[in-house]
Chains A and B, each alone.
Chain A
Amino acid sequence: MTNDNIILSFQDLDIRFTLRGQVLNAIRSVSLDVYRGESLAIVGESGSGKSVFTKSAMGLLDANGVIAGGHIWYGGRDLTTFTREKEWLTIRGKEIAMVMQDPMTSLNPLKTVGDQILEAVLLHQDLRGEAAKKAAVQALAAVGIDDPERRYKQYPHEFSGGMRQRVVIAAAVACRPKILICDEPTTALDVTIQAQILDLIKALQKKLDLTTIYITHDLGVVANVADRIAVMYAGDIVEVGRCEEVFYDPKHPYTWALLSSLPQLGVKGQDLYSIQGTPPNLFHEVLGDAFAPRNPQALNIDFVERPPFFEVSPTHKARTWLLDPRAPKVEPPEHIRHLRQKGGYPHG
Chain B
Amino acid sequence: MPKYILKRILRSFLTMVIVITVVFSLLRLMPIEGYFENYDKLSQTQIDLGLQKLGLTDPLPKQLWSFGKQLLSGDLGVSIRYRKGVSINTIVAEKAPVSLQLGLTSLAIALALGLPLGILMSRSTRTKWKIGDKLGTVFIVIIQAVPAAAYHILIQFAGSQGVIHFGDWSLKLPMLFKLGDYRTYILPILSLAIGNIAYYAMWLRRYMVDEANKDYIKLARAKGVPSRQISRKHVFRNAMVPLIQYIPNSILFTLMGSLYVESLYSIPGMGGLLVAVIKRQDNNMVLALVVIYSIISILGLLFGDLLMALLDPRITLSSKEESR
Contact surface of A with B, Cβ cutoff 8 Å: 58, 60, 63, 85, 89, 91-94, 97-98, 100, 102, 105-112, 119-120, 123-124, 155, 157, 168, 171-172, 175
Contacts and interface: CB of A to CB of B under 8 A. Distances in A.
Interface string B219-252: 1111111110000011001100100000000000
Given A157-B313, A157-B314, A107 B219 contact: yes
B312 interface: yes
A171 B219 contact: yes
24 contacts: A58-B222, A60-B218, A89-B224, A89-B226, A92-B221, A92-B222, A94-B224, A100-B219, A102-B215, A105-B214, A106-B216, A108-B216, A108-B220, A108-B238, A109-B216, A109-B312, A109-B313, A109-B314, A110-B237, A110-B238, A110-B313, A120-B224, A123-B225, A172-B223
Most buried by B among A85, A119, A168: A119
A296 B225 CA distance: 49
Contacts of A172: 222-223
A175 B222 CA distance: 10
Contact of B227 (A85, A97, A124): A85
Contacts of A89: 224, 226
A56 B95 CA distance: 63
B223 A110 contact: no
A102 B219 CA distance: 11
B172 interface: no
Contact of B223 (A63, A102, A111, A175): A175
Contacts of A98: 219, 222
A135 to B, nearest CB: 14
Given A102-B215, A105-B214, A106-B215, A60 B224 contact: no
Given A107-B216, A155-B313, A123 B238 contact: no
Nearest to B128: A63
A123 B223 contact: yes
Q: Is the interface of A mostly helix, strand, loop or mixed?
A: loop
A217 to B, nearest CB: 19
A14 B227 CA distance: 26
A120 B312 contact: no
B311 interface: yes
Given A105-B214, A110-B237, A157-B314, A168 B224 contact: no
Nearest to B224: A93
A294 B222 CA distance: 36
The 10 closest A-B pairs by CB, nearest first: A93-B224, A92-B224, A105-B215, A98-B222, A155-B313, A106-B215, A93-B223, A108-B216, A106-B219, A120-B223
A111 B312 CA distance: 9
Nearest to A98: B222
Given A63-B126, A155-B313, A119 B219 contact: no
Most buried by A among B224, B312, B313: B224
A106 B224 contact: no
A217 B215 CA distance: 20
Contacts of A106: 215-216, 218-219
A100 B214 CA distance: 12
A105 B223 contact: no
A105 B216 CA distance: 6
Contacts of B216: 105-109
Nearest to B241: A110
B219 A168 contact: yes
A58 B214 CA distance: 18
Nearest to B238: A110
Contacts of B220: 108, 119
Interface string B181-216: 000000000000000000000000000000000111
Given A98-B222, A110-B237, 14 more contacts: A89-B224, A92-B222, A93-B223, A105-B214, A107-B219, A108-B220, A108-B234, A108-B238, A119-B223, A123-B223, A157-B314, A171-B219, A171-B223, A175-B223
Most buried by A among B216, B233, B237, B311: B216
Contacts of B227: 85
Given A102-B215, A110-B237, A168-B219, A175 B224 contact: yes
Contact of A97 (B126, B223, B234): B223
Contacts of B312: 109-110
Interface string B121-159: 000001000000000000000000000000000000000
A58 B220 CA distance: 12
B241 to A, nearest CB: 7
B273 to A, nearest CB: 41
Contacts of B233: 119
Nearest to A64: B128
Interface in B282-301: none
B133 to A, nearest CB: 13
Contacts of A155: 313-314
Contacts of A109: 216, 238, 312-314
Contacts of B223: 92-93, 97, 119-120, 123, 171-172, 175
Contacts of A107: 216, 219
A102 B227 CA distance: 22
B222 A100 contact: yes
A150 to B, nearest CB: 15
Most buried by B among A102, A112, A123: A123
